[in-house]
Amino acid sequence: MNSTPLPIQNYALLDDAECEARIVAAKEKLNGRCIVLGHHYQRDEVFKHADITGDSLKLSREAAQSDAEYIVFCGVHFMAEVADILSRPEQIAILPDMAAGCSMADMANHIKVQKCWEELAQVIDVENEVTPITYINSAADLKAFCGKHDGIVCTSSNAEKILNWSFERKEKVLFFPDQHLGRNTGYRMGIPLEQMVTWDFTKPMGGLSEQQIRDAKIILWNGYCSVHQAFKPEHIDAFKQKHPETIVISHPEACFEVCEKSDYIGSTENILKIVREAEPNTRWLVATELNLVNRLHEECKDQGKNVHFMAPTLCMCSTMFRTDPQHLAWVLENLVEGQVVNQVAVPAEDAALAKKALDNMLVAS
């Protein structure tokens, strides 16, 4: 066993083929002590090595139920944090590249949200009137913020149930960091657009008047996913001019106008399920991340299904792309040598409060 970790510099110039061989060999040597998780948006060269694939919450739950000592999350930082929060104390969560973050999650940090909460308190009785909801695509300290203030976490598949749970308790919701998930879900629940206001964290009082705050049912954080922001309603119009039979399916992180033109709206897991179970010889236009769409097309083409990426330009999650075969080989070979690199460990107090918000989600959904 090495007394010091193997340096990442040793891996930077390895080609993908050599990395693949070393990843396979390392996993064999670890013999079940390590579980590799692969998010749907991960690049193929890494995705192929995952023991379990799926969305972030599903992966964290399954890893926590496994016998593995090490959880290697091929995704982004907030995902590894959730894995750490939900895993057993003896399990260690690892992110192959600590630079793999989420630009949307970064749009809402604890300082900004705390400031928003304090400013809202100048207008309304925030503790008794507002439930904070954070999308699972957020930092652990924001999940902890929700746990501290009787709030909750949501996913793209259970957001409606979480909003219903929240409105049973208090009259308003502060929803962060993704405005589009909140707006699209609220609208489908019958909440008028004028009762969903956007909090611009760069402006005093979020750029809202006191009356707008008092009248609002959902206060939406001005955050968004850069990938899903790329999809436009005109992309749907142009594609359907050529292929009018096309069925459109979009992730709820896409903007309101795109979702309104879509036949289906669903999480990554729901998109996969709907297209996989669809009739053969159908054509689909999909508004979500490129790697997922490409894999779905390859999987379904033998059934005569054509699965197309909605945007005319390539758009993938650039931060997710940071997790490459070189980093995966590095962390796995270090584990073989008895060295843990890139451990993600949420502070105990934040973890306990975040777990409370996640537990509320389990009850609500």
Q: What's residue 226's pLDDT?
A: 85
C-alpha span between 252 and 183 (Å, rounded): 9
Write the DSSP assignment of 133-187 as a string of letters.
EEESSS-HHHHHHHHHTT-EEE-TTTHHHHHHHHHHH-SEEEEES-HHHHHHHHH
Instruction: For residue 241, give both structure tokens.
Output: 């001019």
pLDDT the model gives residue 162:
98
pLDDT (0 to 100) of residue 325:
96
Specify the pTM: 0.93
CA quadruple 55, 57, 58, 64: dihedral positive or negative? positive
Q: What is the pLDDT along the chain (365 residues), one digit of tens a residue?
A: 567 999 999 999 999 999 999 999 999 999 999 999 999 888 899 999 999 998 889 999 999 999 999 999 999 999 999 999 999 999 999 999 999 988 888 999 999 999 999 999 999 999 999 999 999 999 999 999 999 999 999 999 999 999 999 999 999 999 999 999 999 999 999 999 999 999 999 999 999 999 999 999 999 999 998 888 999 999 999 999 999 999 999 999 999 999 999 999 999 999 999 999 999 999 999 999 998 999 999 999 999 999 999 998 766 676 777 899 999 999 999 999 999 999 999 999 999 999 999 999 999 98
Beta bridge partners of 205: none
Predicted local confidence at residue 2, as pLDDT: 61
Whether 286 and 309 have beta carbons less than 8 Å apart is answered as yes
